Structure 1
Amino acid sequence: MIPLDLKLKIESAKIFYSNFSIEERASFYSKAFPKFPPLRIWNGRIEDLWFLGNDYTNKSSYYGSYPNNYLKRMEILFPDCHPRLHLFSGALPPGNYIRFDRRSDLKPDILGDANHLSEFFGNWEFGSIFADPPYSQEDALHYGCTLINRNTVIDECWKVLHKDGFLIWLDQVWPQYSKQKWKLYGKIGIEISTNHRSRSVTILQKV
């Protein structure tokens, strides 16, 4: 059951329209981050590598938190994609988005299992979903949960996304997806620094 205040938050969010071309999104990125290399577009989709670096002065103590500046860059790329859902939200603070997690101690906006995501949202549709699931069995143990079924969760995300909405999936693997349901919009490699795990972002657009 979604609390009334969250229902109002979803309903009052900007109506989603995916009007921006991929070139326009790349332009937003270049203007916001003029010191970074331009976003690389190849064969009609984003294909890039981001070196995010460590920020020891402002580092979350939460295991597996988003890499430094990752959200800032992604939000510049997709400014129009609201309402926004953060799946496996972890210790993300409250904001202009809905936080979904299965751990009650993290006090997410909605407590639940991502394998049954569509059961929580009824007729609401999101403009974008940011997902950062446990990558391995070892990671799942850190969070005190079982490893997710990626195929199931991605299918559940499709059910609650607006047509042309985006799933932005941060992981250590390239997840499987149905080409009848999804268009591959981009792949971005994520590097932090030496002796840190490499990650990648798979950006899928609902068709």
Structure 2
Amino acid sequence: MSLPAQADRPNWELTLTVSTADQTHELAAALANALEAGDLVVLSGELGAGKTTFTQGLGEGLGVRAGIISPTFVLVRIHPNLPDGPRPGGPDLVHVDAYRLGSASEIDDIDLENTMDSSVTVVEWGLGRVEHLSESRLEVDLHRAIGLQAPETAAGTPGPGTAASANPASGTLDFETEDDDEPRTIVMRGFGPRWSARPALGGIPEGSA
């Protein structure tokens, strides 16, 4: 699907800072109140920046089945809406890891179109891969205060914004775990007609969370 040129320009940008993983979680839960079936959320940020924590907050706010984990070894995981949750009858959450996918065509191979209309689709590492799925999208970039060396991809080039540390004994890279004590900067951008206006975040002011 070919998107209009304005889909490449954000309608707005919102920058927030958080100090703990709990605040990241709470911010995402507040954002979930503005999400509905058909929404596409693209998460970016180095490993350990808080993408999975953010997705867990979205899941709590949407009222989907618990158990959201980093999708490192699973391309797609569907979390169904809970009939006894805070939003019964609401959308499911589809959690996608696009880190190992090299192109938009590989995204097409996992048939996200089949669940897009009934779900909120959250894609980690999705920039440059999923924009064709919808004329509107919400981009969320998470940045740690301290970024470490990026590991190499299979092609031998640094991975996109990945935090890792070298293990001299094994010659491999050990991925960093999320550090609750490090502040994060979270930047949200809205693209397309669905996100012509910034979502309400329950009174959270710009610049803090």
Please tell me the TM-score bracket, short chain as reference.
Answer: 0.3 to 0.5
Is the helix fraction higher in 1 or 2? 1
> Which of structures 1 and 2 has the larger relative contact order (alpha carbons within 8 angstroms, sep 6+)?
2
TM-score where L is the length of structure 2: 0.35
TM-score where L is the length of structure 1: 0.36
